C-alpha cells in the first residue's frame, strides 16, 4: 500500500450529509497504519450550510464562486491534490468510507480501482436501472473490456494518469464515465471491487431519463471514435453494404429492375464509412508514436 493518499470530495448543497461523510473518512483512514492522508472538499457553489459545516473541519477546502459542475469539481480537487494516489468519493453519503480500504488493497497493482456497486439494491423495474444496464452493455461492446460499473462515484486513481486525459474530461456528471472508458480503451489496468451503495437520503436524484441517456450515448460514441474508431465505422460500413445488397436483390426479385440510385448510395456510403474509419484510426496511431 502507498503511504500517501489524497481524498477528493465534490459537494453541492450537501449540508445534511457532508459532515458525517468527512468524519467517517477520518475515522477509517486514521486506522490505516503508516498512511498519511489529506481530505480535499470541493464546494461547487453551495447555497446552503455546506460551506459553514466543512469550514469547521480540519480539511482542505476549494471553493467555487458559482456552480461549475461535478467533473469540474473533481478536476479542481485532483489538480490541487498533493499526492499521486487519489480517492474520489461523493459527498452525499451514498458511498461508505468503510469501503476505501478495499480499494487500497490493490493500490500497487492497478492503475485505477473502481468501487463496483451491487445492482441487487435497485428495483428490477427501475427505468434508471434499465438505462444504466443498456449504457453499460454498450460501453462493454464498444470498449471490448468488462466494465462492471461505468460511473461509480467511488474510485482510486493516479494523478499522473488522470492528467493524461485532462483535456477530454468533461465538467459535468459524465466525468467518471469518460475516465472509465478512456482508460479501458487505452489498456490501463482497472480493478472493480464490490462495494455497498446506499440510497440517497438527503437529496433527490438529478437523473433525467431521456436527456441523460441521449447525452451518455453520444459521450460513449465520441470516446470510442476517439480511441477505437474501427469499432464503430466497420460495423456501420458492413450494415450499409448488406443493406445495399438486400435492396439490390429485392428490387430484382420484385420489379425486375435495379434501384440504381439507392444501391449506389448505400454502397458508396459503406465505402465512405470504412475509409473514414481507417483514416481516423491511422491518425490515432500516429498520435501514439
Q: How would DSSP label each residue in 257-269?
A: S--HHHHHHHHHH
- Name every residue whose Cβ is closer than 8 Å to that of residue 160 and which is 6 or more positions away in sequence: 84
Q: Is the pLDDT of residue 127 over 70?
A: no
Q: How confident is the model at residue 202 (pLDDT cuts 50, 70, 90)?
A: low
State residue 203's pLDDT score: 56
- The residue written with cell numbers 436483390 in the block is 249
Band of residue 133 on the pLDDT scale cut at 50, 70, 90: confident
> Does residue 158 carry a pLDDT above 80?
yes
Using CA atoms, how far residue 18 sits from 119, 200, 212, in Å, is 24, 13, 26
Mean pLDDT computed over 256-261: 78
CATH 3.40.630.30 holds for 5-227: no
- Mean pLDDT (whole number) for 109-125: 77
- Dihedral angle at the C-alpha atoms of 82, 46, 205, 56, nearest 10 degrees? 60
Where is 149: in which H helix or E strand?
A: none
Q: In the predicted model, what is the mean pLDDT of residues 227-246? A: 91
pLDDT at 143: 80
CA nearest neighbour of 190 among 266, 116, 113? 113
Chain centroid to CA 286: how far?
Answer: 26
**Lowest mean pLDDT segment, chosen from 59-73, 82-96, 115-129, 130-144:** 115-129
| Residue 125 confidence (pLDDT) above 60 | no
Mean pLDDT of the chain: 88
Give the domain ranges of the chain.
5-227, 229-288
**pTM for the predicted model, two decimal places:** 0.81
Amino acid at each position: 500500500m502507498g503511504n500517501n493518499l489524497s481524498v477528493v470530495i465534490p459537494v453541492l448543497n450537501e449540508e445534511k450529509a457532508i459532515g458525517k461523510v468527512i468524519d467517517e473518512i477520518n475515522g477509517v483512514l486514521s486506522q490505516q497504519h503508516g498512511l498519511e492522508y489529506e481530505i480535499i472538499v470541493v464546494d461547487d457553489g453551495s447555497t446552503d450550510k455546506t460551506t459553514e459545516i466543512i469550514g469547521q473541519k480540519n480539511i482542505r477546502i476549494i471553493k467555487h464562486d458559482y456552480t461549475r459542475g461535478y467533473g469540474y469539481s473533481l478536476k479542481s480537487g485532483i489538480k490541487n491534490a498533493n499526492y499521486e494516489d487519489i480517492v474520489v468519493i461523493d459527498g452525499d453519503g451514498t458511498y461508505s468510507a468503510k469501503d476505501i480500504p478495499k480499494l487500497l488493497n490493490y493500490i500497487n497493482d492497478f492503475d485505477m480501482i473502481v468501487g463496483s456497486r451491487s445492482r441487487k439494491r435497485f428495483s428490477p423495474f427501475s427505468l434508471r436501472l434499465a438505462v444504466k444496464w443498456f449504457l453499460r452493455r454498450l460501453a462493454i461492446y464498444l470498449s471490448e473490456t468488462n466494465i462492471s460499473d461505468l460511473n461509480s462515484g467511488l474510485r482510486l486513481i493516479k494523478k499522473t494518469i488522470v492528467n493524461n486525459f485532462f483535456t477530454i474530461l468533461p465538467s459535468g456528471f459524465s466525468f467518471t464515465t469518460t475516465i472509465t472508458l478512456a482508460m479501458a480503451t487505452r489498456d490501463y489496468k482497472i480493478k472493480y471491487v464490490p462495494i455497498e451503495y446506499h440510497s440517497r437520503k438527503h437529496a433527490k436524484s438529478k437523473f433525467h431519463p431521456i436527456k441523460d441517456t441521449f447525452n451518455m450515448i453520444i459521450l460513449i460514441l465520441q470516446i470510442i471514435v476517439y480511441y477505437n474508431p474501427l469499432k464503430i465505422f466497420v460495423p456501420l460500413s458492413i450494415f450499409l453494404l448488406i443493406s445495399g445488397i438486400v435492396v439490390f436483390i429485392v428490387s430484382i426479385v420484385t420489379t425486375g429492375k435495379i434501384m440504381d440510385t439507392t444501391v449506389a448510395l448505400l454502397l458508396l456510403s459503406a465505402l465512405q464509412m470504412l475509409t473514414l474509419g481507417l483514416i481516423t484510426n491511422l491518425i490515432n496511431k500516429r498520435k501514439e508514436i
